[in-house]
Amino acid sequence: MNKVLLIIQREYVTRVRKKSFIVMTLLVPALFAAMYAVISIIANDKDQTKHTVSVIDNSGIFKGKFQDEKFVKYTYPDKSLLNVKADLKSDDDLVLNIPAKITDTAVLYARKKTTLALADNVQRQMNDIASGISLVKAGIDTARLHRIKSNIIIKSSEITATGEKSTSIGATYALSFAGAILIYMSLFIYGAQVMRGVIEEKTSRIIEVIVSSVKPFQLMMGKIVGVGLVGLTQFVLWIGLSAAISYFVGHNSSTQSPVYVFVHNLGSDAGYEIGCFIFYWIAGFLFYSALFAAVGSAVDSETETQQFMFPITLPLLFTYILSVSYLFQAPDSPLAVWLSIIPLSAPVAMMVRIPFHVPGWQLGLSMVLMVIGFIFTTYVAARIYRVGILMYGKKTSFKELAKWFFYKE
């Protein structure tokens, strides 16, 4: 145990003292702050491009009925279409030619490609005006129709054993999506660091000296946990600094940042959900780092890792894609349940399901399997590690890895 702790200490201290660690720890929150500063400036920019739309109304029913908006102004010149088109001098000016029959297609002319938002604005106003005219012709009082139009707002409330409590669907989706994407990204970032560390030690031949006094399992465990603590330290600092900056920006500007909105909409289960996130981040990292370490011990350079990396990361990638397109919509489906229990996909799948109150037995089973999976993969990685670290210049295959695993001490 003392040897494992010494390896953990060495890995942690060595990496935390690196200038790259300090620079990246401070740089990411700084970039985060700069991003929201730019967004805030753009959102409050009063000098944004203003478009002028000259309306040539051949039908005679649209003139004077378009409503000017913040960045769009409508004019009605008494000129022919050819003359108005010839008078276009600015790239921000447009000409809308409305045919005599409103059922025919109107054309929007411009000196450059029109933005989708501007075209939608013109089309929406034309449809509203035409619909209003049709209602009047049908003898329907449009003013009265607008007065009686409903504006129903639905708020979600959850029935619990202690009573009812309001919930925020938006915050729920934000939490599940943020947790899934953070775990997905960090597993690759910090898992790759373990793999690179193993490759560096193998190629430098330092490992030949180390294995003479430390068992492969101890060395593997120490390296994985040590790098994991480095990643956790940096991750906590990133989240803490970025959240503080984001909250400050959202609190002091008209453009509310996602973290500011999220904090204000979190329910009473925030501690439970954050606790689950921390567990699955750590467990997922340990699990996948053991697999990455096994890959690192089997190859001589990073260029040779691709054939082994893809099968390992495919389940995680598959689950991440499903989480965006399917799991959010059906968090209690059989597929979602199984993906959240299997260790290869559980870190991402369970984070999608956590806000929707996963049954206790499913959460417990998933956590137990994550721990067992980590211990087992570390054992497998160590078995490959003890042979692979001494192999140089030999092309490795999955068949060869299987042989290494069954080699006797």
Predicted confidence at residue 364, as pLDDT, reads 93
Give the separation between CA 242 and CA 246, rounded to whole angstroms: 6
Band (42; pLDDT cuts 50, 70, 90): low
Q: Can you give the pTM of this predicted structure? A: 0.64
Can you spell out the DSSP letters for 249-286?
HHHSSSS--HHHHHHHH--TTHHHHHHHHHHHHHHHHH
Domains, in order of start, for the chain = 51-142 (3.40.190.10), 168-406 (no CATH)
Predicted confidence at residue 239, as pLDDT, reads 75
Q: Largest Cα–Cα distance of the chain, in whole Å?
A: 95
Give the separation between CA 76 and CA 310, rounded to whole angstroms: 61
Predicted confidence at residue 210, as pLDDT, reads 63
* Helix pair angle (258-265, 216-251), 10° resolution: 90
Q: What is the mean pLDDT of residues 183-210?
A: 73
Band (125; pLDDT cuts 50, 70, 90): confident
Name the 3-class secondary structure at 48.
Answer: coil
Predicted confidence at residue 342, as pLDDT, reads 92
Q: Which residues is 158 bridged to in the sheet?
A: 165
For the stretch 256-306, pLDDT in tens is 544 454 445 455 566 777 788 889 888 888 888 888 888 877 777 777 777
Asked whether the predicted pLDDT for residue 207 surpasses 70, the reply is: no
CA angle 130/133/138 to nearest 5° reads: 125
Q: What is the mean pLDDT of residues 233-260?
A: 65
69 vs 143, which has greater pLDDT?
A: 69
Asked whether the predicted pLDDT for residue 203 surpasses 80, the reply is: no
148 vs 26, which has greater pLDDT?
A: 26
Q: Which of 118-132, 179-193, 367-381 has the lowest mean pLDDT?
A: 179-193
How much helix, strand and coil, in percent to the nearest 5, is found in the chain?
Answer: 65, 10, 25
252 vs 288, which has greater pLDDT?
A: 288
The Cα-based distances of 287 to 129, 225, 341, 365 in angstroms read: 61, 11, 14, 16
Q: Which of 123-127, 365-369, 382-386 has the highest mean pLDDT?
A: 365-369
Band (337; pLDDT cuts 50, 70, 90): very high
Predicted confidence at residue 268, as pLDDT, reads 52
Give the separation between CA 139 and CA 130, rounded to whole angstroms: 14
Predicted confidence at residue 235, as pLDDT, reads 77
Predicted confidence at residue 338, as pLDDT, reads 93
Residue 234 structure tokens: 């940096």
Give the separation between CA 158 and CA 171, rounded to whole angstroms: 14
Q: What mean pLDDT is reported for the chain?
A: 77
For the stretch 44-70, pLDDT in tens is 655 556 788 888 888 888 888 888 887
Predicted confidence at residue 366, as pLDDT, reads 94
Band (362; pLDDT cuts 50, 70, 90): very high
Give the separation between CA 351 and CA 275, rounded to whole angstroms: 11
* Neighbour count for residue 206 (Cβ, 10 Å): 12
Give the separation between CA 54 and CA 109, rounded to whole angstroms: 10
287 vs 393, which has greater pLDDT?
A: 287
Give the separation between CA 58 and CA 79, rounded to whole angstroms: 11
* Helix pair angle (360-388, 346-353), 10° resolution: 160
**Is the four-CA dihedral 244, 250, 255, 259 of positive or negative sign?**
positive
